[in-house]
């Protein structure tokens, strides 16, 4: 007998070492969540959730993350299409540029935005002189910072979907008399729909969680630029209960997005 002749029953049981390590892996994700839930002041929660700080932060976060997602869609889908379908000089450089915010520390991104668009920035200064518009430390700053860090998710997801789409579908549509816009509207976009939706959801979730670039470029002014993550950071120093309540909101939002994604679109990624 050799040691390969294990009984079917034994073979079904996974190796103990793997199980222990996997449980450790689960702990990495579960322990912080348990800590958060254990410290939640459940009875004070209604008061905390309706406090000015929380309501302001919720409002700003929602407006900014949705605006950032919308801008990402308007600019990012055409960019993804160009990257996937048009061979232009410097395409690989543009591809690298697009993923840069994913690897760059957000604080660095925020600082870069400040140098470019700040009141004394390369573009910010002439912009201020001509229009009086000041981007940093305003809700515009929050939106721009969130767009900078989140749009790569949309571009990458949509570009991948476009490259996987069999070009014969678009060819078939063209032979049936569809012009380029009709092809895009009735064939390309619907066929990459699941990926587009997943990209939008990921972009929105990333925009909602943005911290470093926002605090650097837009500051931390309650009611003007203070988003949920910034409010959590401040509340940790002043009001632990509020910090927990705010964190709980973000966990619930993130989990909801994940579950919806898993149900419908995750496989498209």
Partner 1 sequence: MNPFSGLDAHLVVSRGESFKIDIRLRVPRGRTIALLGPNGAGKSTVVGALAGLLPLERGHITLDGRTLDDPDGGVLVPAEDRGVGVVFQDYVLFPHLTVVDNVAFGLRSRGVKRGPSTTEADRWLERFGIADLAGRKPGDLSGGQAQRVALARALITDPDLLLLDEPLAALDATTRVDLRRTLTDHLAQFSGPRMVITHDPTEAFLLADEIHVIEDGTITQVGPPDDIRLRPRTPYIADLAGSNLFIGTAHDGIVSVGDHPISVADRHIEGPVLAAVDPRAIVISLAKPGGSSRNSWSTRVQRIEHYGDRVRLQTGDPLPLTAEITPAALDDLRIEEGSSVWVSIKATEIRVESD
264 contacts partner 1 (rule: CB under 8 A): no
Which residue bears the tokens 């869609």?
A: 73
85 contacts partner 1 (rule: CB under 8 A): no
186 contacts partner 1 (rule: CB under 8 A): yes
Q: From the CB of residue 27, how many other CB atoms can be counted at a distance below 10 Å?
A: 11
267 contacts partner 1 (rule: CB under 8 A): no
**Binding-site residue total for partner 1 (CB under 8 A)?**
18
Of positions 120, 168, 237, 263, contacts partner 1 by CB under 8 A: 168
- In the complex, the smallest distance separating the C-beta of residue 169 from partner 1, rounded to whole angstroms, is 6
Q: Which of 109, 191, 206 is nearest to 158 (CA)?
A: 191
Q: Using CA of residue 167, residue 95, residue 138, residue 47, what is the dihedral sign? A: positive
87 contacts partner 1 (rule: CB under 8 A): no
223 contacts partner 1 (rule: CB under 8 A): no
172 contacts partner 1 (rule: CB under 8 A): yes
Q: Which of 49, 54, 97, 67 is nearest to 218 (CA)?
A: 67
173 contacts partner 1 (rule: CB under 8 A): yes
End-to-end CA distance of the chain: 46
d(CA 158, CA 143): 21
138 contacts partner 1 (rule: CB under 8 A): no
d(CA 59, CA 142): 12
Region binding partner 1 by CB under 8 A among candidate stretches 46-54, 88-96, 131-139, 166-174: 166-174
- In the complex, the smallest distance separating the C-beta of residue 28 from partner 1, rounded to whole angstroms, is 39
What does R_g of the chain's alpha carbons equal in angstroms? 23
Contact (Cβ atoms closer than 8 angstroms) between residue 131 and residue 216: no
- In the complex, the smallest distance separating the C-beta of residue 186 from partner 1, rounded to whole angstroms, is 7
The token pair at 59 is 């409002």
169 contacts partner 1 (rule: CB under 8 A): yes
190 contacts partner 1 (rule: CB under 8 A): yes
134 contacts partner 1 (rule: CB under 8 A): no
Which residues lie near partner 1 (CB under 8 A)? 166, 168-169, 171-179, 182, 186-187, 190-191, 193
């Amino acid at each position: 007998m050799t040691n390969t002749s294990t009984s079917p029953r034994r073979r079904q049981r996974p190796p103990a070492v793997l199980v222990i390590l996997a449980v450790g892996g689960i702990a990495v994700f579960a322990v912080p969540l348990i800590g958060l839930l254990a410290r939640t002041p459940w009875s004070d929660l209604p008061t905390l959730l309706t406090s000015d700080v929380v309501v302001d932060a919720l409002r700003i976060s929602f407006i900014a993350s949705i605006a950032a997602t919308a801008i990402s869609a308007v600019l990012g889908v055409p960019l993804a299409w160009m990257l996937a379908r048009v061979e232009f000089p410097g395409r690989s450089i543009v591809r690298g540029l697009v993923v840069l915010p994913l690897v760059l520390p957000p604080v660095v991104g925020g600082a870069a935005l400040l140098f470019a668009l700040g009141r004394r920035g390369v573009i910010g200064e002439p912009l201020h002189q001509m229009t009086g518009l000041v981007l940093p430390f305003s809700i515009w700053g929050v939106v721009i910072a969130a767009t900078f860090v989140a749009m790569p998710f949309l571009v990458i997801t949509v570009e991948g979907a476009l490259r996987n789409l069999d070009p014969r579908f678009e060819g078939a549509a063209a032979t049936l008399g569809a012009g380029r816009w009709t092809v895009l509207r009735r064939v390309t976009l619907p066929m990459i729909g699941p990926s587009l939706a997943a990209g939008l959801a990921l972009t929105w979730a990333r925009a909602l969680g943005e911290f470093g670039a926002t605090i650097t470029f837009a500051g931390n002014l309650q009611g003007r630029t203070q988003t949920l993550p910034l409010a959590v950071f401040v509340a940790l120093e002043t009001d632990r209960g509020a910090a927990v309540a705010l964190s709980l909101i973000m966990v619930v939002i993130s989990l909801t997005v994940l579950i919806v994604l898993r149900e419908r679109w995750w496989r498209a990624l």
